[in-house]
């Protein structure tokens, strides 16, 4: 069968986006892994299937796969790409400035700005209330909150703060993000027995009280140029440790996101999304 797709990215975190508004598509995890392969497929950090919402309080549904074919609850950069695709192709009405997107982590409300041609330029996502209770992250460590907690890995002991942003995160503060052991400690923490659903791993360097440099080892993907939920989790961890105020700019290898942990306890993330190209790929029916 032939699949039409759009290649998009949110500050370098790239995705294959496929429309499935009639819900006729059932992709096997091995097909997703092949499509996301950078040598034999299209190449992407993840794959987004756009469907109609199943809930009455949402407009669209984001079915999101990691590059290894596993389902993920939520993706902050991916949801901005989905909304841009829906706005730019007319799935969202031309006079709309907001859309509600159903995800496996609940309904996320997105407001957006348009350029003169009606295309989306930047979006702010209401990422919801961060989960700090261990059972909600989830992480199997003692206490009411996993804050600056020692975790043993084959590379030595690291100290993590665990935050749930619809998906699990482990934030590690480092002195120099450029020399951080992302490719060794990252996979060790991702697959640590303390995280029953595995975890994303953030390596964060504080620049000042309103700016953070960040590298992320993403669950099921590896290191990526950006991670929206990771940026949000890191700002939450920064506020908890009094490193920043409730708003900070997060500098990732692919670009910047502005994250605010509002006084209403909800986290808001603002950033762009970009369409790169569209195409079609042939894939075996089986």
Give the active site residues.
Answer: 75, 227
Task: Please state, in angstroms and rounded to a whole number, the distance separating the CA atoms of residues 224 and 80.
Answer: 16
Q: Is-contact 269 231, C-beta < 8 A? A: yes
HSE-up of 142 (CA within 13 Å, CB side)?
1
Which contacts of 36-40 are long-range, i.e. CB under 8 A and separated by 24 or more positions? 36/65, 36/67, 36/69, 37/67
Identify the CA nearest to 108 among candidates 135, 85, 78, 132: 78
H or E element that contains 170: strand 168-173
Identify the CA nearest to 67 among candidates 230, 218, 254: 218
């Amino acid at each position: 069968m032939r699949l039409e797709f759009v290649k998009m990215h949110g500050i370098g975190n790239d995705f294959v986006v496929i429309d499935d508004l009639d819900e006729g598509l059932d992709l096997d995890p091995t097909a997703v892994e092949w499509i996301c392969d950078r040598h034999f497929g299209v190449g992407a950090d993840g794959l987004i299937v756009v469907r109609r919402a199943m809930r009455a309080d949402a407009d669209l549904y984001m079915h999101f796969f990691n590059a290894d074919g596993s389902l993920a609850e939520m993706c902050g950069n991916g949801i901005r790409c989905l909304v841009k695709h829906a706005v730019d192709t007319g799935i969202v009405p031309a006079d709309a400035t907001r859309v509600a997107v159903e995800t496996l982590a609940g309904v996320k409300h997105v407001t957006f700005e348009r350029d003169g041609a009606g295309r989306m330029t930047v979006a702010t996502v209401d990422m919801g209330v961060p989960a700090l209770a261990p059972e909600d992250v989830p992480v199997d460590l003692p206490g009411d909150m996993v804050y600056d907690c020692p975790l043993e890995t084959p590379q030595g002991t690291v100290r993590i703060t665990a935050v749930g942003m619809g998906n699990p995160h482990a934030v590690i503060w480092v002195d120099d993000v450029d020399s951080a052991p992302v490719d060794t400690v990252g996979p060790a923490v991702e697959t640590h027995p303390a995280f029953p659903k595995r975890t994303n791993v953030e390596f964060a360097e504080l620049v000042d009280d309103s700016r953070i440099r960040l590298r992320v080892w993403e669950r099921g993907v590896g290191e990526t140029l950006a991670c929206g939920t990771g940026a949000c989790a890191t700002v939450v961890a920064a506020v908890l440790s009094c490193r920043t105020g409730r708003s900070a700019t997060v500098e990732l290898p692919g670009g910047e996101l502005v994250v605010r942990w509002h006084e209403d306890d909800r986290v808001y993330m603002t950033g762009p999304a970009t369409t790169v190209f569209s195409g079609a790929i042939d894939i075996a029916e089986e």
